Amino acid sequence: MIRLQKLRLIQWHSFRDVTIPIGERTLFVGENGSGKSTIIDAIQYALVTQLHKIRFNAAAAEKRSGRNLQGYILAKTGFEGEEYQRTEGISHVILEFSRSDGVFCAGICAELTKDSTQIKELPWIAKDVHVQDVPVFLDSTHLLGAQQFKQRMKDQGAEVFESKRAYQNELTNLLGVYRRNVEFNPYLDALVRSIGFTPMDSVDRFVCDYILEERMVDISVMKSNLQSYKDAEAEAELTIKNIAHLEEILAKARVWQQHFRTILNQDYLKRRLESELAKEAILTHKKRSQNIEAEIAVKTQELHQLKEEVERLREEAHQIDIAIRTNQSYQLIQELEYRRGTIQKELEQAHLTKDRYRTLQAQIEALLNQPLIKDREGNVDITRSYEELETEQERLYQGLIKSRDALDEFRKTLSDIAKELEELERGLVRYPEGPAELVKALQAADIQAWIFSDLVEVSDGAWQNALEGWLNTQRFAVLVAPEQFQRAIEVYDSLPHQIGGVPLPNLAKMSRAEVRPLSLAELIITDSPYARRYADYILGRVIRTDKEHLKDFDQSVTQSCLTYSGYTVNRLRESLYSRWYLGKRGREQHRENLILTRKNLQEQIQQLEISITLMEQRSEVLKRALPSLTEMNYMEKTIAGIPSLEDQLNQISEQIKRVDTSDLEVLRNEHHKLLSFLRFKETQIEKTQNELGQLQGTVKTLAEKIPQLETDLETKERHLKAFVEAHEQYREEFEDYYTERVQSREAREQILANYEGSLQGNQIKLQKALEAYQGAIQKYNQVWNSMFSLRVEDSTELEALKKRLEASELPLYREKISRARAMAEQQFKEHFVSRLNEYIEEARESFREINAILRNLTFGKDQYHFTLEERNDRKAQLMVIRKAAEIHENRESLFEALTSDAERQAVDELFNKILKNDLDSFEVRELCDYRTYFTYDIRVRDISAIDPKTGKVPELSLSRALREKSGGESQTPYYVAIAASMYRYYKDDPEHCIRLALFDEAFNKMDERRIGVTLDLYERLGMQLITAVPSEKLEIIQPYMDTVNLVLRYGNESWVRDYRAVSSTGNQ
């Protein structure tokens, strides 16, 4: 019989060096945080070693336990600022097992240094060695380093393993649970999974987590082949789409070619027609030129005859004109007409001047907004008006000068007030020039000096006027320390004489001044001893009183500023106290006065600016009006002469009427008739000349055009020939097109007339066809990541590509599809289906074994067995798997074997799920996990009862009972199932197998009876049981355990004590 009998922990978290006895039924009990789970974790670490399989602090798994190996080595505290007790360390976990042939120890040494983040682990096994004999210490306080420990163990005959896998194989072999060709030992897997068992409300989850091993079918190769198949299929589909796309583009190219050929035919037709018509045009021009030259000869003779007749008529008219000019009546009338014309012009000019005069008058009066001065007759008196306006202009000029000067002065004063207000805001007061200059000179000589008014405050504002007026210039007295007085005198004397009138008191002589009650000195408040002394001296004898008692004192003053001194009453001038200088109140009053003055100045400036603007506007008006008055003055003489000119004009008209013109009229009539006939003949000459000129011009134009037409014809014929030669392949088509379209000359001209419209229409069609083609090419290049030319002429490249795809690549892809599908099917059948069937069959076998064990076990009156059924949502996949398993090698393929649409759909869904999801995704993991194909249940049979209806033992489902029974009652079947599952591993040879079962915080919510019966079951099965429970479960569980270890912790150290020994000592 193999059993774990001791556990030794060295530097394992808070356990320094603890050896713990392990019995057949061992209980670890203690408060939360004492270290119970730490011990359980140590046992599974030494047994399993593979950290990715270990569930540290398994009881807290759902709380996402943060424990890890580093935390156990360095003793993690979980406190901020001091996360670990140790900065580096070595931990040992040593298990001691007993066998029929002796004992052996198995352990692991884990070392973590400051210089490394990698934990060094050394698993080892030593036969015939007890835990206390394992050499871990260098001396009484220091542990051996990992390499030292390794060498020491080898020296003692222990086997130190280079890999955890080798260690695990050897350990499981010694424990009698070794299995060949497994990734992880099934017994250790069951042990680890059971450690953190907590009752749950799902039997499916319980089976997957604690009964069946997690064994995933590796489908990475199959997925790769499936992907290759799908990729090849997709490539073939893409190729087919590519061919269709190319055909669509080539069809658009053919449409473009059709429109292009039409345009070529029309171009040939136009060129040939133009050549033929050019030939005919040359013949027409030559014939027309001959006809016009004959017509020119006739017109030339006609023009000669007309010119001779006109010369004769001109001579006759000249003789009559001489007779008229020598007539006396004619000569008199001509003289009078000349004089009348001259006077008429003068009169018209005079009236224009008069109109201008009235316009200027209206403009001036509107500009001045007043009428001009009139004389007694109501006419404008220009002289007086001019003088008055000129006087007003001079007055405005002087007013503007004064106003602008005043404005400048106001602005300067306003700026000065602003600066002074700014200085007041900074605590600076402006004093008369003398005090300020004296203080400045004294300070330059390193003599501290103060102006008296800066150092004092006035306690009663009602007396401020009297106090300011009485002090007068003494307010500005400059105070210096008594010991500096003589130097101050020298500085004062060195200043220019204009700096004077500033008191410089000798304070040393003023120290014993008398201050009478109600004196002005009592109003002075100051922190300066110098100001205090000076104030007491000059004000201490001046008494504040009223006018009734004014004369009762040697020196006195009233609030109304009446003073009495030297037996004389006087009133202080208001100018002496109109501005206050003393204290804060004085500065505030001055600030208010400045603000008020500034406001008044701003108002005056605003009014003055308005006044200046009005004067400037008026001055500008006068400047425009005076020149106009001057112009009007010059016009008056011309206007005055209008009546005289009108009289002269009337007299001349009367004289012309009185002249006898009867003989003259006969000559004039004859002369008029002759001139009319002469103009008619001249018109005929002009007309004939024009006609002759036009004919000559036409001949000339025709003569110039014929060479040009001949050149043009030569060019057209040459271009036509070049065009035909450039398109030789279309020569016959061009001739046929010409014969079909040209029937007569009129048809030719109509064709040319319609050519541009037809060409434009065909070009639009050609452009649209080109745009459609180029758009298709651009889309193709974008979709297929190509760079084909947008020129239709290059469409042969597309045609070649289409032929290559159809003849070469598409058959290649289809062959690739067939090959990839065959490989995917082979992987699916030989690996996925066979391995999944294997796992499913092993699962069925596991349940058959467990149920066989459960048939021989009763739990009170209950008996249990497992059932498993195919999940409804996985039946289609199971059907595909069975179908694939039935297909024999070298027979039909999977796809050929599928006979129904449902089967094909199931295969597509299965393959698509594999292809569309990652290997570690939930969907693929579920597909590859054989456990997820079934739903599980635990059937509970009450063997103490019989169902009266069926005559059989009643049986119910645990899944249904979980919703109805108490927490403890529903836990029981789980612990029974775990026991039966682990019993499988040693039932055939119990004497030579480890029978260890490990739980952390087990039996929650179970009552004492069920706990006792459960533990009794584990004892009957011969299982060695280790569990940890909290203190509140101690009294219930400890009677059933042969070893009870009390886990204690104080501060940063934990240890283990025999609970019964401690209790016995405590009772004694």
553-572: pLDDT as tens digits: 999 999 999 999 999 999 99
pLDDT in tens, 488-547: 999 999 998 888 889 999 999 998 888 999 999 999 999 999 999 999 999 999 999 999
Instruction: Let me know if 799 is exposed, middle or buried by CB neighbors in 10 A (0-12, 13-18, 19+).
Output: middle
CA angle, residues 933, 862, 194, in degrees to nearest 5: 50
Euclidean distance between CA atoms 280 and 748, whole angstroms: 12
Which residue type does 762 have?
N
Choice between 910 and 502, residue whose per-residue pLDDT is larger: 502
The answer to whether residues 151 and 160 touch, using CB atoms and an 8 Å cutoff, is: no
Residue 92: predicted pLDDT: 96
**Range scoring the smallest mean pLDDT among 363-367, 573-577, 791-795:** 791-795
Place of tokens 């899944």: 959
Beta strands 1024-1030; 89-99: pairing state: unpaired
What is the residue extent of each domain of the chain?
1-201+993-1068, 203-217+791-961, 430-580
Q: Is the pLDDT of residue 198 over 80?
A: no
Radius of gyration of the chain (CA): 67
Euclidean distance between CA atoms 94 and 1038, whole angstroms: 26
Residue 639: predicted pLDDT: 83
Which residue type does 339 have?
R
Please give the span between the terminal C-alpha atoms of the chain, in angstroms, as a whole number: 37
pLDDT in tens, 673-723: 878 888 888 888 888 889 888 888 888 888 888 888 888 888 888 888 888
The answer to whether residues 550 and 565 touch, using CB atoms and an 8 Å cutoff, is: no
Euclidean distance between CA atoms 1033 and 769, whole angstroms: 92
pLDDT in tens, 649-658: 888 887 777 7
pLDDT in tens, 306-334: 888 788 778 877 777 777 777 666 776 77
Residue 769: predicted pLDDT: 86
Q: Is the pLDDT of residue 63 over 50?
A: no
Average pLDDT of the residues in 84-91 = 90
Euclidean distance between CA atoms 369 and 387, whole angstroms: 17
Euclidean distance between CA atoms 592 and 872, whole angstroms: 99
DSSP-assigned letter for residue 746:
H
Which CATH number does the domain 1-201+993-1068 belong to among 3.40.640.10, 3.40.50.2300, 3.40.1550.10, 3.40.50.300? Answer: 3.40.50.300
Which residue type does 888 have?
H
Choice between 709 and 827, residue whose per-residue pLDDT is larger: 709
Q: Is the pLDDT of residue 890 over 60?
A: no
Euclidean distance between CA atoms 618 and 389, whole angstroms: 11
CA distance to 29, 39, 682, 782, 1059, per residue, from 1048 (Å): 9, 12, 151, 75, 11
> Which range, 465-474, 573-582, 805-814, 879-888, is most confident?
465-474
Q: Give the phi and the psi of residue 290 in degrees, each rounded to 5.
A: -65, -45
Which residues does 23 contact at the CB level (< 8 Å), separation at least 6? 1041, 1042, 1043
The answer to whether residues 34 and 40 touch, using CB atoms and an 8 Å cutoff, is: no
Q: Give the phi and the psi of residue 450 in degrees, each rounded to 5.
A: -140, 145
Please count the CA atoms within 13 angstroms of the CA of 162 that sit on its side-chain side.
0
Please give the share of the chain, as a percent, with pLDDT higher than 70: 91
pLDDT in tens, 252-309: 888 888 888 888 888 888 888 878 788 888 888 888 888 888 888 888 888 888 888 7
Place of tokens 């023009």: 303
Beta strands 120-127; 159-160: pairing state: antiparallel
Smallest CA-to-CA distance from 765 within 256, 267, 265, 269 is with: 256
Q: Give the phi and the psi of residue 610 in degrees, each rounded to 5.
A: -65, -45
Take residue 158 and report the two structure tokens written for it: 């222990």
Average pLDDT of the residues in 887-910 = 63
625: confidence class by pLDDT, cuts 50, 70, 90: confident
The answer to whether residues 973 and 938 touch, using CB atoms and an 8 Å cutoff, is: yes
Buried b (16+ CB within 10 A) or exposed e, 961-979: ebeeeeebbbbbbbbbbbb
pLDDT in tens, 133-181: 999 998 888 899 999 999 999 999 999 999 999 999 999 999 988 777 6
Residue 827: predicted pLDDT: 65
User: What residue ranges in 268-419 does DSSP mark as E strands?
Assistant: none
